[in-house]
Chain A
Amino acid sequence: DQQVKQNSPSLSVQEGRISILNCDYTNSMFDYFLWYKKYPAEGPTFLISISSIKDKNEDGRFTVFLNKSAKHLSLHIVPSQPGDSAVYFCAAENQAGTALIFGKGTTLSVSS
């Protein structure tokens, strides 16, 4: 049973537009969330994170929003660029604070 769900396997966006990637989780005890980005033939790399004490964290073109009551977070990329085309994984830190639980990923394609 997936504790972290990314229900959209893929997303296509035009260059310059906003990309919104969504993630839902089931365990209300999760209190730290991360987004990873993965290019083909490479390992995932850390992108941005958010603690449950915040509802927004911004880093350049990337912003993560957290809605604790809905157990939902989203990653906004604006403006989207062709180089953003990759698989994006949402992850939640386990309750022990020692490991991450990943979603299945969303493949983002940004066309020029």
Chain B
Amino acid sequence: DAGVIQSPRHEVTEMGQEVTLRCKPISGHDYLFWYRQTMMRGLELLIYFNNNVPIDDSGMPEDRFSAKMPNASFSTLKIQPSEPRDSAVYFCASSSTDSSSYNEQFFGPGTRLTVL
């Protein structure tokens, strides 16, 4: 298995532009998580899905952030409009309720976003 795939790996954009981050979870996993990592706040959970349905989006910082999971193999995190304070590394992770390792989440390599 290729693991969790995220694209792009790096994104540099200007303030006000729309940014879309993409994630392909591990096949067969029924949970998908979006995290943001910053020096100040560490690893924050933004939103998570179960069977493509958003379960908890209380970590989404503002209405400028939105996430979708149109099918079991794809999710997007969109920021519109982007601001410099959104600069961070964004991770996608997936997990399976059938996993022998209870609640182990598998992370993608992350997308480093820089908003100028």
Q: Which residues of A contact B (CB under 8 A)?
A: 6, 32, 34, 36, 41-46, 49, 89, 93, 97-105
The segment out of B13-21, B77-85, B98-106 that lies at the interface is B98-106
CA distance A97 to B50 in the complex (A): 12
Given A41-B109, A43-B4, A93-B103, also A98-B55 (CB < 8 A): yes
Determine how close the nearest CB of chain A comes to the CB of B114; give it in whole angstroms: 15
Q: Is B115 among interface residues, defined by CB-CB distance under 8 A?
A: no
- 20 A-B interface contacts by CB (under 8 A): A32-B102, A34-B104, A41-B110, A43-B108, A46-B101, A46-B104, A46-B105, A49-B102, A49-B103, A89-B42, A93-B103, A97-B103, A98-B48, A98-B50, A99-B33, A100-B103, A102-B42, A104-B41, A104-B43, A105-B42
- What residue of chain A has the Cβ atom nearest to residue B103's Cβ? A93
- What residue of chain A has the Cβ atom nearest to residue B108's Cβ? A43
Q: Which residues of B contact A (CB under 8 A)?
A: 4, 31, 33, 35, 41-45, 48, 50, 55-56, 91, 93, 101-110
- Name the one of A42, A93, A98, A105 contacting B43, with C-beta atoms under 8 angstroms: A105
- Name the one of A42, A97, A102, A103 contacting B109, with C-beta atoms under 8 angstroms: A42
Determine how close the nearest CB of chain A comes to the CB of B36; give it in whole angstroms: 11
CA distance A6 to B50 in the complex (A): 29
Determine how close the nearest CB of chain B comes to the CB of A50; give it in whole angstroms: 11
- Name the one of A43, A89, A97, A105 contacting B110, with C-beta atoms under 8 angstroms: A43
